[in-house]
Amino acid sequence: MAIQRPKGTQDLLPGVVEQWQGLEEQIRKICKEYGYQEIRTPMFEATELFQRGVGETTDIVNKEMYTFLDKGDRSITLRPEGTASVCRAYVENKLYGGPQPVKLYYIGPMFRYERPQSGRFRQFHQFGVEVLGADKPMVDAEVITLVWDLYSRLGLKGLEVHVNSVGCPTCRPEHKQKLQEFLEPHKEELCKDCQSRFEKNPLRILDCKNPTCQEITQGAPTTLDVLCEDCAGHFAELKSLLTAAEVVYKVNPRLVRGLDYYRKTAFEVLVEDIGAQSAICGGGRYDGLVQEVGGPQTPGIGFAMGMERVLAALKLSKEHEDEDAKEFLMLVALGEKAQSEGFAIISRLRKKGLPVSIDLLGRSLKAQLKAADRVQAKYAAILGEEEINKGIIILRDLKLGEQEELSLKDFEEQVLKQYKEDGN
């Protein structure tokens, strides 16, 4: 029996990997422009970090973590998300002691034990951003604008940005009480999860996907009804900054992040046409999290974007794939001597940044030309023992079917010139 990859994981093969590289490139570019620096944290952490940093009452911690004991009997968890790790690194490396705010981003795999389906994997990838040490609404506006800007650069269509304010420890208790009063008569009808949320975390009932729970919560008091002056002011300012930045958004009072250290802004980006898993990005302000993982009281805000879902939404066109696979020149070398000479030529051209390749299988002339066709090379350069002895090389234009003899001495210079003339 052949061994198969674990359920919910993917092999990203050539042809698809180029799409990932393209997306990563755009991400790095925009982060640089906005002044965000990359951070790389371990792929596994002490389990306690996520228990504290993501929260015991979340699905992630309750049901979805890859947790195991290592050989030293430590409880280890493959990271299910990035924010807790970034906050831990901020504290552990005393980044709070340097200039604030600290603006970071990460790209990498995350692991959640979920039922695999379209857009839902057990190993998936997130791009995320975290800003630590700044509490003004402009920070919230900046990260949401970054998401919006990235999506418009990528050409994503059919997006909805939802924003909400979940309040803070000053205003949330009042909301909790009102919500519990509202839900009390329907307590028995709520789904199992929501029944257990009722005491600990009733806010999250607003976010439940169960149709009965959704119906019950119609007309329930929202956090927006009870925001304290500080939170209301913050939210008003955020909305006006988003409008100024021409971000199109919708206020969605049912959008919640129910943990204690989530404060004020919560947001999400949805895209219409990728099926049931339509959330491609989620984020919010977490002014209590750094303290929760053992650091000084520090405001923070961030988001995480599911890269598989972004790529699904992009449905990158076939032309794009072809463009990435194109070679400029394929060196067809026949015989040992030509192969080593050819390899030296290819290596020099590659150093100059030209997309060139050479046959690695020692195939026949015909097979090599066929391979050149397959990678849509513009030219084939043919080199055999006879050509070497004469000090020449044959350059064939594969589109026009014409060929000429060039002196080996001038060959590289001429190829470079041609490459530039072709608009590269």
Residue 273 backbone phi and psi in degrees, to 5: -105, 30
- Under 8 Å between Cβ of 381 and 371: no
From residue 111 to residue 130, the character string flagging contacts with ligand ATP as x (rule: CB under 6 A) and all else as - is -x-x----xxx--x-x----
Q: Is 304 in the site for ligand ATP (CB under 6 A)?
A: yes
Non-local (6+) Cβ contacts of 127 within 8 A are: 24, 27, 105, 106, 107, 304, 305, 307
Q: Is 398 in the site for ligand ATP (CB under 6 A)?
A: no
> How many residues touch ligand ATP (CB under 6 A)?
17
Among 214, 277, 403, 418, binds ligand ATP (CB under 6 A): 277
Alpha-carbon distances of 167 from 131, 136, 183, 194, rounded to whole Å: 19, 15, 20, 21
Among 306, 345, 377, 381, binds ligand ATP (CB under 6 A): 306
Residue 293: Cβ-neighbour burial (10 angstroms; 0-12, 13-18, 19+): buried
Q: Which stretch binds ligand ATP (CB under 6 A): 165-173, 301-309, 344-352, 369-377?
A: 301-309
- Work out whether the CA dihedral 395, 397, 398, 401 comes out positive or negative: negative
Q: Which stretch binds ligand ATP (CB under 6 A): 13-21, 37-45, 276-284, 404-412?
A: 276-284
Q: Is 81 in the site for ligand ATP (CB under 6 A)?
A: yes
- Reading across the β-sheet that carries 66-69, which strands appear in turn? 44-46, 75-78, 66-69
Which of 77/368 has CB closer to ligand ATP?
77
Q: Is 183 in the site for ligand ATP (CB under 6 A)?
A: no
Q: Is 279 in the site for ligand ATP (CB under 6 A)?
A: yes
Q: Is 262 in the site for ligand ATP (CB under 6 A)?
A: no
Which of 273/336 has CB closer to ligand ATP?
273
Distance of alpha carbon 423 from its chain centroid, rounded? Answer: 32
Among 308, 341, 359, 387, binds ligand ATP (CB under 6 A): 308
Residue nearest to ligand ATP (CB): 306
Q: Is 292 in the site for ligand ATP (CB under 6 A)?
A: no
CA–CA distance, 296 with 154 (Å, rounded to integer): 38
Q: Is 161 in the site for ligand ATP (CB under 6 A)?
A: no
- Residue 293, token pair as written in the block: 């993982």
Q: Is 82 in the site for ligand ATP (CB under 6 A)?
A: no
Non-local (6+) Cβ contacts of 92 within 8 A are: none
Element (H, E) at 109: strand 102-111
Q: How far is the CB of 278 from ligand ATP (least distance, A)?
A: 8
Q: Is 174 in the site for ligand ATP (CB under 6 A)?
A: no
Q: Is 144 in the site for ligand ATP (CB under 6 A)?
A: no
Q: Is 281 in the site for ligand ATP (CB under 6 A)?
A: yes
Which of 280/334 has CB closer to ligand ATP?
280
Q: How far is the CB of 288 from ligand ATP (least distance, A)?
A: 18
- Residue 178, token pair as written in the block: 């009102």
Burial 316-337 (b: 16+ CB within 10 A, else e): beeeeeeebeebbbbbbbbeee
Q: Which residues bind ligand ATP (CB under 6 A)?
A: 81, 112, 114, 119-121, 124, 126, 277, 279-282, 304, 306, 308-309
